[in-house]
Structure 1
Amino acid sequence: MASNLSSPTVELVKDKERFDKILKDAASRLVVVHFAASWAEQCQQMGDVANELSKDPAYADVTFITVDAESLAEVSYEYEIVAAPTFVFIKGGKMIDRLDGANAAELTGKVNKHSSRSVSDLNQPSAKQNLNERLKRLINSAPVILFMKGDPNTPRCGFSRQMIQILNEQNVKYSTFDILEDDDVRQGLKAFSNWPTFPQLYVKGELMGGLDIVKEMVESGEIKDLVPSTQDLNTRLKNLINQSPVVLFMKGSPSTPRCGFSRTTIGILNETGVPYTTFDILSDDEVRQGLKTYSDWPTYPQLYVKGELMGGLDIIKEMKENGELEAALKE
């Protein structure tokens, strides 16, 4: 077992008997299971986030554990884990939610949403203090974070849609939090930031403002000085395709593929049993367009092994039929 999955406060579960006992002992409490892989840097980063959340007194009733997705294949199969990191949220022995991929803000939001604290408890002074602590963690969970209605693919109000368009045009690297998914955050952030509307843009933990302010910053050119822009595209693409031994650039996620080709490719990869990481090209137009030129491959999905392009669905199918695919992935 690789030691870099361990943390001071989050238990690394090494066998199914222990896993089952934790779920049984938790009764109706929330259990957050981090399915990780020792070779994935993103798993280490998200493990650090989970570790910090486990120390928060506000989540004293939440049990956080880590499972090596490769070593405990039986448990991974039971919860349909196809990529690492994946977080599964369990209450009463049943999975109530999941998070595929590395998103610190969304992880914090889901833990907050599913913990046992009721919304009415916010009237208590201690609860308000705990909420403020969570809000601080959220706004500092990424260098640039946008609190919006919906997500970048499906904004659920015109102001959020305009803000996403501006950030994309300015090549800003940002994370988002859907305030419609968490009423505590939606209401609490208004008071915390003394800003009554959404979207709200934060940079390095500081509120920049809403849509009107950001528009003014663009017109004055100030946004380029305050907001960290994306790194050189080729460097970023190189880092993305080398983030794990096997990386699939697809439309959607393994649990919700958003095109037939991606769905078929996921099915083939799952049959091999080889762990892989995915990137949703619909979430980042710069990557979607840039990777076509970088790899000289015009369509998606695209599969990379150890930083080298293997090909698209047709090549993957052909390699599977020839019996070459599994060996190539495990090489």
Structure 2
Amino acid sequence: MALLAEASTGQQFEEFLSAAGNRLAVVHFQAAWAPQCGHMNEVLAELARETPQAAFLRLEAEALPEVSERYQVSSVPTFVFFRAGRPVDRLDGAHAPELTKKLRRLAESGGEAPPGAPGAPAAPAPDLEQRLKKLIRAAPVMLFMKGAPQEPRCGFSRQMVALLRESNIRFSSFDILSDDEVRQGLKTFSNWPTYPQLYVNGELVGGLDIVKELAQSGELESTCSQTQDQDQTQTLEQRLKTLVARSHVMLFMKGSREGGARCGFSRQILDLLNRTGVDYDTFDILSDEEVRQGLKTFSNWPTYPQLYVKGELVGGLDIVKELEDSGDLVSVLRGES
């Protein structure tokens, strides 16, 4: 086996792990476009010469997405340590001293995973949880990313920064590669396993895919402009409670019952409700951005339309369809079940 092998297919990757057997195996997930990966390949080649008891491999992360996804690789460079085909530790980022330290420790210890290695993450300690709560509220819009906005250290973070800048959104950031405690703890705290992560007013918006969808729908700027203070939030909550209870059956939709629906989903739910003969009222969420954004958090339901009966959320279009199919829609609307 070469000092620093290469894999261009998933089969070659599996063959490398199989050939390594019980030896410690180090896999460098890299990208040709990232200069830091070239530097780390030189470091890895030197470590390979110094550590003959281990096996070393490099592969293009974006060329083998199924392998990258399997091991939750979302940035380059990333190093995953294996023994007997099982991941026992990892390192994200171009940190030559830390890579050397992990390699030597694992080679000498027989590859047992140290605390914090891949596996079921423990809940953040109370002190860490308080710190995370402060961090996500450090600015109205907080981005947890790999690197800094002026120098992102992964393609996903680079894309996220570009989306925010294109929408003229002011944001602060935290480099999760600079603090492994925050990097690992935030995954559990937010129940979101990858980075970057975007927060607005201390609430998780999501990762790159969700931000892309918001940008494409034209909702990113409004989502990131929610900077109400606590009193304003309380006032909005009272307003939402009043609105959802304004009528026995309340539908929050794009458009209105009288003026017509302004999206296909709202049109379908109007048709379903009209066929029941049960009276209902509607609210056009396109007419009030504060309600449109606030109700998503209030109801913990991210999309529209939303149907309420006696001030309680029933659900969206899919749930209403299921109720009609089961013959339960009329009784639910009447508050009988």
Q: So what's the TM-score if we normalise by structure 1?
A: 0.41
Bigger CA radius of gyration: 2
